[in-house]
Amino acid sequence: MATFFGEVLSVYSRAVEEDDDELDEIEEDEQIRRELEEKRQKFMLHLQELLIYGNLEVHLHWSPEVSESLKSGNKLQCSDFILAVGQNASSFLSVHILSTPNWDTIGRASVWNERSRAVTGQSCEESACVFYRHKDNPTVLICQVSCYVAEDQLFQWTEKVFDCLQLRELNVTVLSDTSVADYKTADYLGGSSAPFLRSLHTSAFGDQPVCQSLEQPNIVTGLAAAVLNHCQVHRIAAVVYQCYSDVIGPDSVTMETYKPVLTKLGRSIQLDPSPSTDALRKFVRTTDLQSNLYI
Amino acid sequence: MFISSQSSAPSFRDFTLVMPAVAVGNVGQLAVDLIVSTLNMSRVGHIHTDCLIPMAGNNPYASSKEDGEELHTPAEVYAAAELKLAVLQIRAPILQSKTKKFRQLLVSWIKSSGFSRTVVLSSSHAYQRDDQQLQGTPLRYLVTPSLLKGSADALKELGWREMERVPAFPGLTDGNTEPRLCIPGGGITKGLYTDSCKEDLPLAVLLLFCSEGDNIPDAFTLANHLNDWLHLLDDNSKQPNKWKIPTSWSLLFGNGIPPALF
């Protein structure tokens, strides 16, 4: 595109990527893609020392007891599946629910993509995607996802996880962090309104959400959206509570925004409605300084 | 794959399918929004696939509070049985690595559903037009041989311009310079068209040359152009704005302005 000053600029479309329809060029692109795929696969093999399944990028590791059960064709009995996407959502669950001593870790998911930090040797001490099951009420499952799941892995993650769950009478609750910069509203949002909650639910969800529904033209993306899509299409009752916050990283005020959800969750599980400040402090660490250039 | 949102699978036999290509300016998708919104079409199913980036939102065509809280997914099918019209709306980008798979999915779904014809609404980069294309109307069409058999007269009457074939290497006079189809910025349009030719599907492409920006007027242009052929709206009202804008079109260019700015 030529500008008025006589320079030529490349024009990018916000809707579509360039040049994905030329048959000759596709071969080269395919080769590059293949090489990237091979690189990903090689890394997974080195890291995990695992059997090769269909696709190595998203892999679920269950505890031996659960693996045995799944292998013999019995899916995980589940009446409530609570998913936390993002640091604040995960920390909220850790402080209010997982702090009570009745939870077993039954599995984790490894998600390898461009943003995974390179790990040498064994997998990182704190797996970024963990599944917990309640000891006394084993139909309640919790999953915390604090790692980045790439766009092309979202569908796969959701399918793999829900494939392990028995879907009858299942209720899904998703807590998801997002930035208030993504929130569109006609009235200008002053700094005081964030953080706040908005909800989105599937047609099969019969309960009342604890907060306002997400107004037009806002949408939900990422893992929360992938789960909602899956549940809508398979007629599973699901609700997403999206927390819009102006703070990047773990923050106690943002975490506390999820509190109204406790009223719903408290019906099926024991929780800690007022955790000690020490418990909170453990999860809210000051953001690591990535650079002191602007101090 | 197609999953019905009703108790039984709908029948699309002999229906016309209108679908957008995710292309420059999102014009096809905007035009489809206008069609669904104006004709008050009801959703009959979802295309559930790993080829699209997941997103979810409330009903973008809500006209009141009652139907406002209905979850919508990235690819949905709407139908108006009385018009024998089905519309597929695609709301999310197609994953780069899955474009071929998505095209195959669409082609096989179109085949198995028995649509009498498919119309793809699309767009192409305006800045890549050659000298000839700069003049006259920015609208073009393409038609597979299968559809040409039935619609040749209608298209001739409308006086539409067919999309030109351009030389592969403009300026070079030697070598393999057979003109070929080129739709820059059209996403899967060209691939879908060539696949449909191969599979002998009756498919038409309606496209508009445009640039990124405020593409709402482009959407109206394309929707009116389609209407000239398919007559989706009643001809009685000769008003220019017979299309109904959906509520999801608000705030396309950002939030409200902070009053303290002034």
| Residue spans per domain, chain B | 9-168+179-234+241-246
**B9-168+179-234+241-246: CATH homologous superfamily?**
PAC-like subunit (3.40.50.10900)
Q: Tell me the backbone φ, ψ of residue A177, rounded to 5 degrees.
A: -90, 145
* pLDDT score, position A124: 42
* pLDDT score, position A53: 42
pLDDT in tens, A35-50: 888 878 776 665 554 4
A162 interaction partners in chain B (CB closer than 8 Å): none
Interchain pair A213, B58: CB under 8 A: yes
Largest distance between two CA atoms of chain B: 65
* pLDDT score, position A291: 59
pLDDT in tens, B163-209: 988 877 777 766 667 788 999 999 999 999 999 999 999 999 999 99
Residue bearing tokens 């006589």: A6
Candidates B240, B222, B219, B243; CA nearest to B37 is: B243
Of B54, B191, B250, nearest to A154 by CB-CB distance is B54
* pLDDT score, position A52: 44
Strand partners, A199: A213, A241
- C-alpha B28/C-alpha B222 separation (Å) is 8
* pLDDT score, position A18: 61
Of B57, B186, B258, nearest to A219 by CB-CB distance is B57
Q: Which residue of A has its CA nearest to B192?
A: A21
Q: Count H helices, E strands: chain A?
A: 8, 9
Interchain pair B187, A189: CB under 8 A: no
- C-alpha A67/C-alpha A74 separation (Å) is 10
C-beta of residue B69 within 8 angstroms of C-beta of residue B58: yes
Q: Which residue of A has its CA nearest to B7?
A: A235
Sheet harboring A58-62: ordered strands across?
A58-62, A103-111, A129-134, A140-145, A80-85, A171-179, A237-245, A196-201
* pLDDT score, position A120: 42
* pLDDT score, position B30: 96
A152 interaction partners in chain B (CB closer than 8 Å): 50, 95, 97-98
The CA distances from residue B4 to A60, A232, B77, in Å, are 30, 11, 9
pLDDT in tens, A37-94: 887 877 666 555 444 443 447 888 898 888 888 888 888 889 999 999 998 999 999 8
Query: The complex's ipTM?
Result: 0.91
Of B54, B252, B254, nearest to A229 by CB-CB distance is B54
C-beta of residue B94 within 8 angstroms of C-beta of residue B55: no
Cα of A135 to nearest chain B Cα, Å: 33
Angle at alpha carbon of residue B135, lines to B133 and B140, rounded to 5°: 50
Q: Is the pTM of this model over 0.95?
A: no
Residue bearing tokens 């389609």: B226
Looking at residues B11-17, what average pLDDT do you find? 94
* pLDDT score, position A278: 66
* pLDDT score, position A121: 37
C-beta of residue B110 within 8 angstroms of C-beta of residue B195: no
* pLDDT score, position B53: 95
| Poorest-pLDDT segment among A107-121, A253-267, B8-22, B158-172 | A107-121
Looking at residues A13-32, what average pLDDT do you find? 65
| pLDDT of B236 strictly over 60 | no
pLDDT averaged over chain A?
81
Interchain pair B97, A155: CB under 8 A: no
Residue A287 banded pLDDT, cuts 50, 70, 90: low
pLDDT in tens, A177-206: 999 988 988 877 665 688 999 999 999 999
